[in-house]
Structure 1
Amino acid sequence: MVLKAELHCHIEGAAAPDLVLKQASKYGVDMSGVIRDGAFVWRDFTEFLAAYDAAASLFRTEEDYARLADHYLTSLAREGCIYAEFFTSPDHAEKSGISPFAYTQALGEGMLRARAKTGIESRMIVTGVRHVGVASIEAAARFAARCGHPLVTGFGVAGDERQGHMEDYVRAFEIAREAGLGITVHAGEFGGWESVEAALDHIRPARIGHGVRAIENADTVRRIADEGVVLECCPGSNIALGVFPDFASHPFNALREAGCKVTLNSDDPPYFWTSLEREYLIGKENFGLDASALTKITRTALEAAFVDRKTKAALLAKLGKTR
């Protein structure tokens, strides 16, 4: 089995249908319009968001969130994943009626449970949401900088790329950078190559979430490669959401061959009928990557991980033993 690593996953979007149904039973909520035959169902982006919000609303207590993190990370470990980062959202916490601090502590408890059972290492990336607004994003950055949780090691911005401008978020990223947090930002999914260029110009991220539409501009691709920015690619998500019509049209290999550092990730896995294991299978079956190439993808992810040097060295050593 090729060992794997995950850099791009939204924790609320990682809730598996079986876990969501257990939560629905706990709170007496009918999810039959959202989950059928053990899978999420939606027909367009609006329905996807509605399904996402309906499932996310079923996580309401600290124990609920601890269970979510434990369930997801344990499932990743079964797929051969040795390291995972996921995005957290203070906005979702407040919608659920608990404080961002309690939410983060709860997710951290779940992460520790999963590590105790499986050995999987994991970290959290606090995110602001573009379509919620600049003030909310800056509040998320301040929380990330000050929360003091040892497993919070990154900051990012997600949400609708078509709203707001990268320069609006410069202060938020400065707050996070000054606190020593790793920097990633969603761009180049729905926003086109221009959003990637704006991220490089204004945010100077170590990583870009998605970034695949940089392929539309050769200069942007060259710049990503030259600056060593790592792309958190999510092919299954891109096809499910219609960013590209099929895997033959997906630019993963073109970006890789142009010298860009690329990784494989699951984004919101059950909503896109995928998993980290399936993303690596897509790499094998659709992009022609053999075990050696897939292991290099994992190495790229580990080298880009928002962890301390000692942890990173241990993870790379574990990967090296499989060669």
Structure 2
Amino acid sequence: MQTALFIEQILNGLQLGVMLFLMAAGLTLIFGVMGLINLAHGSLYMVGAFACAAVAAATGSFWLGLAASLAAAAAAGAIMEILVIRRLYERDHLDQVLATFALILIFSEGTRWLFGSFPLYLDIPKLLQGTVPIPGGSRYQLYRLAIIGVGVAVAVGLFLLISKTRLGMRIRAGESDREMIGALGVDIRTLYTVVFALGAALAGLAGAMVGALQSVQVGMGEPVLILAFVVIVIGGIGSIKGALVGALLVGLVDTMGRFLLPQLFGMLMPPSQAGLVGGALASMLIYIVMAFVLAMRPQGLFPAAKG
């Protein structure tokens, strides 16, 4: 049973990692292409979760809710970029932080006004209910495996988009020299809106899928946003590969730390103290990893190549 529990925690870490990747991929694209610090990215995660929950409740279909989450988050991101964000590109990072923090408050209060202060709940679709056997004699939730599968599929899709398509070529060029591609006739404003909407849709997808595992409530995106920033710092700003590796590393370190550290300290002290000390250290572990990576590689593990 201990083997099964260990494998289950590894799968939990992978599931957390791919969810963080969906958040961090959009965030790192936005920062890499636009040089913009977007604190409101977590609000787009919340928008996706609420859109999915509301549509699923109205129609009885999780899949329609999932489609609505992508559409609502992408639309919210595009509107945000057109009305507010594009006025911030030439401003310093402090202005960007203040403006996007204001957007967090606007999204939170607007969501509370629309849906109220009580949380919403999403049911796991029937197709993905149930469990599957894992080594060690235990079983693991099928829906969590599906989240891992979706994360892998999105990672492959983003890699193909960035490396094999004309849009990807423009995104990579925008990361290297935005003035040059503007001079070559590429509509920079449209490119920025598309990238922002793509990043918003990924955040909305993450919120919708995680919404079936926890309650959907106002402010749910902010704790995840902090972890997403840790991911892109570890992986390298502007790098999709770095976002994937950083997200999996953070997910596994956080999950396994919370699982193993109390047990390790239990060998040295009473169980009550071991749980307290181990839990406190586990909550700091990903930040310790981030500090170590920054000390060794200040640009992150896989920084985006610049022209």
TM-score range, shorter chain: under 0.3
Q: Which has the higher contact order (CA 8 A, sep 6+)?
A: 2
Which is greater in Rg? 2
**TM-score (norm. length: structure 2):** 0.26
Q: Which of the two has greater helix per residue? A: 2
Q: Structure 1 length as normaliser, TM-score?
A: 0.25
